[in-house]
Structure 1
Amino acid sequence: MTLVRQTSPHARSPNSTQQIMKWVLLAAVPGLAMQTVFFGWGTLINLVWCILIAVGSEALVLKIRQRPISFYLTDGSAIVTAVLLALALPPLSPWWLTLIGISFAIIIGKQLYGGLGNNPFNPAMLGYVLLLISFPQEMTQWLPPVGAAGHTAVKSFSEALFTIFPLFGHPINIDAISMATPLDIVRENTSLTMKELWSENPAFQYFAGRGWLWINLAYLLGGLFLLYKRVFSWHAPMGMLAALLVMSTLFWGGAGSGSHGSPLFHLFSGATMLGAFFIITDPVSSATSNKGRLIFGAGTGILVYVIRTWGGYPDGVAFATLLMNMAAPMIDYYTQPRTYGHKKPNKGLPEQH
């Protein structure tokens, strides 16, 4: 007689770590395509270079730690970190800048804490903040998007390649063609009304930045796809977008020279949708309960607006994410769900009498 083992758990999920990483990479394709369309080949070149360095750095540390290299590399987490950092970098970032950022993200931000599942901070955002603080000039050299004056200065794959890797060709002078992002222009504006700003500056189009509207819509589409696949819940993205919407409505300032930008401008400019659906939804460094994710997302949205409007940086997604990563353990402590059979959630160990 055969005895069938029927111990719990009986529920099985088709989502493995590797499968989830594949869904995330697939969801990022529309945003990557839009960034390439509006800012040229540099985004794709940065992405390939980031992936190579990320995989190499992870393999090196795993070798030093005497861990099975193929087992950990095939989970796709290093590639996702590389893709997120590459999408956040200016399109013609020099090769050494990308090398420093992604090496720091993998070695210090991830492997130093024990690898995937142990990192308290989002590794990609750690690498980005390191670069932004250390090399502010290189990190703010964004090309004009398609349709704006100066975009045709970098029009071929070879020009972008030789600008990033100035070894065999003549690099483009990025200083001569770079321009401030729409968020930075609005933050620094003190004299023009919003109507004048929109009509006189080629960086703006419709109610957001030229190109940035379509890029954010593409990341929104990818985020909805991930929600459909149940890679994460809606709580963190909705908390961030709702908080950003509320803050930008309260402190809008109208259409005069003192305006901080409309709510739609803040929702569809910069890294808003990338941050809401691809960065703060990191299951390791974010909060764990549904209520906690709402608080985590809302806190991120508030900090993003504060940094954008009154801080020293044009976009605050990376700083806001890292600050809320530090708060995640406390959020989890105070938002533990009630266990079945108990009247309230247990926080910590019971007191000994």
Structure 2
Amino acid sequence: MAERKPKVLLFGSGAIGTIYVYILQQAGCDVSAVCRSNYEAAKANGFHITSAIFGTIHLVCPVYPDLTTACPPGTVYDYLIITTKSFPSPIPIPSPSPAAALVAPAITPSHTTIVLIQNGLLIEEEYAATYPENPLLSCVVYLPSTQTAPGVIDMGELELLEIGTFPAVAPEGWKARAEEFGALIRRGNGTAHVYDDVQVQRWKKLVLNCGWNPVCALSRSRDVAVLQACGEAEGYVRGVMMEVVKVAGRCGYGMMDGGTVEGVLARAKERLGTRGIEPSMLADVRGGRRMEVEAILGGVVRLGREKGVEVPRLEGLYVLMKALDGRVEDGSLYA
């Protein structure tokens, strides 16, 4: 008897989501995707991927315009993978939160594993509160990719998924689901590591995201251009990153230090002489899209305040990015 294929629904088929549809298809999963702005293109033509790792791919899978259509009565998904941008609910989190309530049609109580492949801090709580009996996996992703046109994906030379349960202390069945999901990614020729406490990895990526994303978005510059702007630039970015490290330490994640920051800066300096990297916030502001200000900056600023850590650079970036994001939201950015 043939082994039953894991049934997967991916919510948010942008660049990153589409790559994981492909990887999970390669792993033998039964994968469907909820698309939004690219639904018509994906329905008509599938997805076209150009990848430095996987080559040129024409990807076809069942696509739906919304979660309700993807979840007719009796549908049971083993995994719901959420790869939309992260816009956490305000504190205190309403019950249920809008984000968690939105995915309810895809959740079978005590069965469906919820997988968050999103940026930032404090993104898991609203799902954990709404679906306390469902395994919840928190994932940190490194996957430079861009949707250059609806359903057309350009992917670079890196793909890494770091996986762990939320919370870190979780039932053994949830830990087993984390291992199973990591094995599926690897079976599909992806790269996955499973951690006892993936929040360590979230903090490490936050050092990178807080240092480069808002600075590049506000200056409309790639990382290399920022470094070359003036003699003070590197020191400023270092200072932003060190504030993240200090808050992490006060939150119990003291394994990061100045060496963590220097490693992030060194990778950027290796790109000197090239165009450098376009962080996601820079790509978003150029494209007139909302940015993940709360997930990337808001959480660490609030935690700094709660823990008594002064974060003046992060607070300044947060204020400026909130204003910029507001202008994007109301359409007045270039008015």
TM-score normalized by structure 2? 0.29
Higher percent of residues as helix: 1
Tell which structure's C-alpha radius of gyration is larger.
1
Higher percent of residues as strand: 2
TM-score normalized by structure 1? 0.28
Q: Does 1 or 2 have the higher relative contact order (CA < 8 Å, sep 6+)? A: 1
